Amino acid sequence: MADHRRTQRAARSSAQAVRSRPAVVIVAAIGTTLVVGAAGALHLDDSADGSTGPSSGSARVVRPNWAAGPNAAGSGTGGASVAGRAGAIPGIGSVMMARVPREALQAIVVSGVDRDANTNSVTLWQRADVNAPWMSFGTPMTGRNGAEGWTEAHREGDLRSPIGVFSLTAAGGRLPNPGSAMPYEYRPSFYQTAAPQGEPLADAFNYVVAIDYNRLPGRAPSDPNRPLGGQVGGDIWLHVDHRSPTRGCVALPQSTLVSVMRWLSPGARPMILMGDVADLSADV
């Protein structure tokens, strides 16, 4: 979660904040309609014509740590069959693989040794097509995550990174696009921040890739919408390492992050699988 947004929001009046939060949000996102109900739960309608999907007679609730792609687990195709058809990323169990859309051809795996770990191993995976096996790309990298480790129930301010599978659909930063094919938001004034609690954050947001946790896929990283409400947090990004654990994001050295950004391809439906080893490798 980025402290720059908290700082900016504090400067707004409470009336403006209330007006800025719509009661209902409907937006097309990767072939899926996201609808925020009155209770703040995020629902998906997978059909193109607006009717409900084949798996149920009503819109289904999407948890923050589930990928919201049209072919992720629970979309009517069956999680086990999705994993079986697409093949598995080495070290990733059936629970997480069931959440990876069939069309995904790129994946980033962020793995901590346990739920309390705030450093991790980051590996890149890709495949030639949906029937090809997943192959590693490059060498393992070392990153940081939330200061208190990992959680399946992330809350605003808990200093833990959310466990789950998320799409990657937008990037940005205070510096110009370093050569990424991802939609890029170059906005120096937004990606400036004061360092909280003495943390060296001056360069943390030189480059970011938005992780689609509690956000509308495809929107710029600066987009303030939180479909599931503010209580479950937001602004979970890949960003530049600031030599200390994060407040929930995943951080990599700048040169490493730039390499990852240049590797990511929107057409490959890139996903990120993140959590501790036990959760990532879990089977049903």
Q: What is the pLDDT of residue 121?
A: 98
Q: What is the pLDDT of residue 200?
A: 57
Q: What is the pLDDT of residue 193?
A: 61
**CA-angle at 115, arms to 119 and 2, nearest 5°:** 60
Within 10 angstroms of residue 203's Cβ, the number of other Cβ atoms is: 15
Q: What is the pLDDT of residue 26?
A: 28
User: In the chain, what percentage of residues exceed pLDDT 70?
Assistant: 67
Domain range list for the chain: 3-280
Q: What is the pLDDT of residue 223?
A: 96
39: pLDDT strictly greater than 50: no
Q: What is the pLDDT of residue 198?
A: 55
Give the list of residues 6+ apart from residue 33 with CB closer than 8 angstroms, or none.
Answer: 26, 27, 44, 45, 50
Return the closest-CA partner of residue 108 out of 134, 83, 80, 71.
134
51-97 pLDDT tens trace: 323 233 333 334 455 554 333 433 333 333 333 334 899 999 999 99
Average pLDDT rounded to a whole number, residues 168-188: 97
191-211 pLDDT tens trace: 876 545 555 567 899 999 999
Q: What is the pLDDT of residue 140?
A: 97
Q: What is the pLDDT of residue 1?
A: 54
Average pLDDT rounded to a whole number, residues 242-271: 96
- Read off the pLDDT band of 5 (50, 70, 90): low
Q: What is the pLDDT of residue 66?
A: 52
- Read off the pLDDT band of 3 (50, 70, 90): low
The structure tokens listed for 265 are 């391809």
Better pLDDT: 11 or 272 = 272
Average pLDDT rounded to a whole number, residues 234-257: 96
